[in-house]
A and B are shown apart, each in its own frame.
Chain A
Amino acid sequence: GEDVEQSLFLSVREGDSSVINCTYTDSSSTYLYWYKQEPGAGLQLLTYIFSNMDMKQDQRLTVLLNKKDKHLSLRIADTQTGDSAIYFCAESNKAGTALIFGKGTTLSVSS
């Protein structure tokens, strides 16, 4: 079945780059997503990538997609303390009607 896996914790220093990794199983997923959850808040869509793209850049965020290895990563450049949050990787299900999420990666940024 469809599954998404990601590492649970990442700790970086302010100003460094953060790379959060994710693997997924459904090669037919059209879109892959990164959501961010700040304490006490809902899941906020950060960015998404279409499956025929290798890379997408949006200001400090870079998404890399390796379709062959079913590997997705989110790079945050110049990480700030405000980036501390839980980051969820998600793929669309086969029918394209719902999202399959990973467990979330807790990013901790120290100054």
Chain B
Amino acid sequence: EPEVTQTPSHQVTQMGQEVILRCVPISNHLYFYWYRQILGQKVEFLVSFYNNEISEKSEIFDDQFSVERPDGSNFTLKIRSTKLEDSAMYFCASSERSQGGLNTEAFFGQGTRLTVV
């Protein structure tokens, strides 16, 4: 069964450092997403990406964040200068069509736990 894979499963980084979280979406999917969940809080939408550009982003997704699809298979989330409050579980997802509509199951990866120290 096709799945979304994320690497690494756990990343520890020092405050102020740059991190790149990697995701390989399902191959025939066109829409890609990043969500995050701070411990004990809700899963929050960060950004959606379609046709090689950001289609929507939340207030959380400020200038410290960027996304890229550097080749035909990877989808990355970069945090330029990490802060303690960036510590969270980051989920990548992909779907054939835009989420929220008919038959738009979004497949999620297992998450990357980012710990900023």
Contact = CB atoms under 8 A, between A and B. Distances in A.
B106 A99 contact: yes
B45 interface: yes
Nearest to A48: B105
Chain B: interface residue count, which band? Answer: 20 to 34
Contacts, number: 69
A74 interface: no
Interface stretch (B12-20, B35-43, B73-81): B35-43
Contact of A97 (B41, B56, B102, B110): B56
A7 interface: no
A82 interface: no
A31 B101 contact: yes
Interface residues of A, number: 25
Interface in B81-110: 91, 93, 98-102, 105-110
B48 A97 contact: yes
Contacts of A93: 45, 100
Interface in B38-81: 40-45, 48, 55-56, 58
A94 to B, nearest CB: 9
A30 interface: yes
A103 B101 CA distance: 22
Contact of A41 (B45, B99, B106, B110): B110
14 contacts: A29-B100, A42-B109, A42-B111, A43-B43, A43-B91, A45-B107, A92-B100, A96-B101, A97-B100, A98-B56, A99-B45, A99-B106, A100-B45, A103-B40
